[in-house]
Structures are given as C-alpha cells and as structure tokens.
A and B are shown apart, each in its own frame.
Chain A
Amino acid sequence: MIEKLKKLAKEYLVSGKVEVIFGLREKDNHLAPHIFTKVEELDSLVVSPQYPLFYTCRPSKKNIIRLIEEKYPDIKIGVIVKGCEERALIELAKRNQIEMKNIEILGVACSREEAVECKCPRPYPNHPLLGEKVEGVFEDKNIEGLLNKGWSERLAFWQSQLSKCIKCYGCRNACPLCFCQDCAMEQELWSKIGEIPPEIPMFHFIRFYHLADRCIECGECEKACPMDIPLLTISKQVRKDVKELFNYESGLDVKQESPLLTTLDEMPMKEGANE
C-alpha cells in the first residue's frame, strides 16, 4: 500500500496539483514530519499510526500547518493524513486555526489491527484514496468496568490513576486541539504550580472539559503519557455523550458548529438531558 501511496504522491507533485507534500519521512530509522518538495525524496515517505503528523508548536501555540501557511501563503500543500489526522485538520479549520483553501488532503485508511492498537473508533478519513474503511473500536475496558461500579469506586480508581501524574504536560503538548494561548492548566488560579501530583481531579478535569466538544479521539494524550494514565477513557465517553446530547461529532464537517457555541434553537438538546 505504501508503494501505491508513494506513486500517488509523486503524481500529485509532478502534475503540479500540489507544490509540496507534507508527511512522515523515515531517515536513519527515525520517523519525523517532513515537507517533501522533490520527487526523489518521496521514496522515504512512510505512514505510521504510531507517529503523529500534526502537533501544536510551542511557544507559538500554532499548529505546524499554520506555520507553513504563514511562511508560504500561496503554495498548495498536499497533506498525507490518516483518519484521526483528517479529523484534527477539520476541527482546526473549524476553529480558525488553519486555512483549508490551500490544503489538498490525501487520505489513507488504517487497517483493523492498527485501529485496535490505537483504540480508534473511525480509522479512516472521509474520502480515503487508499485502503478500505474498516470497523473501528468503540469499547473501552476501563469504562465498562467503571460504569457498573458506584461513585466511591470510580473516584478511588481515578484517584489512584491520576495521582501517578508527574505534571509533564505531555497530554496537552501532544494534543492537536490544545492550542489556547493561555492554557488553564498552567494557571495558578486552577491548579497550584510546583505541586506533584497536581490537584485531583481538577488538573485533568480542565482538559476533559475543554476537549469535550473538540476531542477527535486520536489518543495522542494517552500515548504521550509517561505514567500510562488512561486519559482516553473519559474523553471517549464524553465524546459519546456529546453525540447523544447534541447529535454532534467533532472533526467530521467544517461547517458543523460546536454545540457549545450555538444556542438551543440551532442545536436542540434531547429532552431530559438536564436530569
């Protein structure tokens, strides 16, 4: 499949449909995002679900795509994306973090094995050029166990999990949708600076709530966590709830506005949702 993708990318580049290709490159056994400008370079192109393509660059808090766009406002960029990355692009465009007009999406679907590994519910982009749309993973072993338990057991579980936190901010830094200029997780107001573990569950609650309508379930937070805190468990469940309450899913359509930004008339809630 990767050979097909290389061929396709070369065609895009040669025909002038795009001027550069943005994707992962393998060099000296290391994978990193790269801007391909020459056809020969594309031989080292790879696709891997283990390595993210987009991230928010610090300290500018701008997505890498935005930085490319700012530096070269007139070039057409072909971006090789997996399902999660396409959702990130769409969600970023929706929130005015990037512009889609110069972006050409080359979508690649992941295999079922890769989806299982990532716990991905939608391992394919909207219009995959390569690969088949396979079924995603919806269940999560943590939440299934927790939903059958009482409040105190759930609290005890999260207290033991979250107290492992070393406050490295890895979850936030890895998240493609964490782009706030002033991150609430860094503010003394909400969580004391210089304390480990941070206030539980306040510190993590900030992310869970702020990502409620943004999370695209790429799982980068959980992959980045050095202490293996199951952060995706709650984000996954909240995303499910947002879908049930507001019939909204993030990252599928640029035109679909987040329910937290609209009134009840435009995006009515299900009856009894308040109870």
Chain B
Amino acid sequence: MKEFEPKIIGFCCNWCTYAGADLAGVSRLQMPPDFRMIRVMCSGTIDPLFVMEAFQKGADGIFIGGCHIGDCHYQTGNHRTKKRVAILKKILSYLGIDPRRVRLEWVSAAEGQKFAEVVTDFVAEIKRLGPNPLKRKFEA
C-alpha cells in the first residue's frame, strides 16, 4: 500500500511567515514536500470560509501563518485571525472534523528554523490523523 501523502494548504502572510518560509528555503532546511503555500497579504484576510472550502476540495490540513501579535504590518490583522480561528476550530469540531487539522502559528521573517520545524511537525500530525474525512466520502 502506498504511504499516505497528505495535501496541506498553507496560507502565509506576506510580511512575516512567507518571508520566514523564504529564509527556510534559502537556508536549505529540510522540509516535507506536502506543503502547498498560498501567499496572502495578511493573515487577517483569511476567511474561515477559505479553510472550509479547502477541506471541501480535499485538503488534509490547513496551516495559517501570520506575524506575532503586535508585529502585524496592518497593526491588528492577526488579532482577528486569532479570534476567528478559535471559533472556526469549535465549529469544525462539532461538525466532526478534527480541529487539529487547522493550525495557526506565528512565524516571523527571521524564524526560518521555526517555520521548518512547524511544517515538519504539522505534516507528521496530519499523517497520523489520516486523510480528510470529507474527501473519503467523495471517493467511496
């Protein structure tokens, strides 16, 4: 049997996490290749509907990366992200989708090492959780 290769969508903020990912790449840090990144201008643009849509289309895990609280390029964009994601996780859990499939992390532009660690850890966790249950229903 083929090993489960998850599809992970990463929404990364232009100013911190995307630059952090860039640094991780430039520093040639090893990361699993299951991560597909979408650059957004701020983590505050991420509507929970994006996350749900990604699950609906078959993503196994969603990573949301933003600046640390207080470092947001737009002052308070990430404050909203934090609150939204908290509610999103609650609704997902009631609907029967493991909230661990969504991860919110603050990664600054200087934290290439942290980015690599977070991605590696998240991919390992999603592999443990298995494929997205919504996708399984489609294929059956």
Contacts and interface: CB of A to CB of B under 8 A. Distances in A.
Interface string A223-245: 00000000001100110011001
Contacts of A159: 137
Interface of A: 143, 146, 151-159, 184, 190, 199, 201-202, 205-206, 208-209, 212-213, 233-234, 237-238, 241-242, 245-246, 259-260, 262-265, 269, 273-274
Interface in B34-92: 48-49, 52-53, 56, 69, 76, 79-80, 82-88, 90-91
A154 B83 contact: no
Contact of B87 (A152, A201, A245, A264): A245
B53 A190 contact: yes
A209 B87 contact: yes
Contacts, number: 89
* Most B-side CB within 10 Å, residue of A190, A199, A209: A209
B104 interface: yes
B56 A202 contact: yes
Interface residues of B, number: 28
A272 B100 CA distance: 14
Given A151-B93, A184-B49, A209-B88, 7 more contacts: A146-B94, A151-B96, A151-B133, A154-B96, A155-B96, A155-B97, A157-B96
B108 to A, nearest CB: 17
Nearest to A208: B91
20 contacts: A143-B94, A146-B94, A151-B96, A152-B96, A154-B95, A155-B97, A190-B53, A201-B52, A202-B56, A205-B49, A206-B49, A234-B94, A245-B83, A259-B83, A260-B80, A262-B79, A263-B76, A264-B69, A269-B82, A274-B86
Nearest to B94: A234
Nearest to B101: A151
B72 to A, nearest CB: 10
B16 to A, nearest CB: 17
Contacts of B91: 205, 208-209, 212, 234, 238
A158 B76 contact: no
B22 interface: no
Nearest to A156: B96
Across the A-B interface, give the 10 residue pairs with the lowest CB-CB distance, nearest first: A155-B96, A154-B96, A263-B79, A264-B79, A263-B76, A241-B90, A212-B87, A202-B56, A205-B52, A201-B95
Contacts of B69: 264
B95 A205 contact: yes
A202 B53 contact: yes
Contacts of A213: 87
B111 interface: no
A18 B83 CA distance: 42
Contact of B133 (A152, A184, A274): A152
B48 A209 contact: yes
A147 B108 CA distance: 37
Nearest to A212: B87
A145 to B, nearest CB: 12
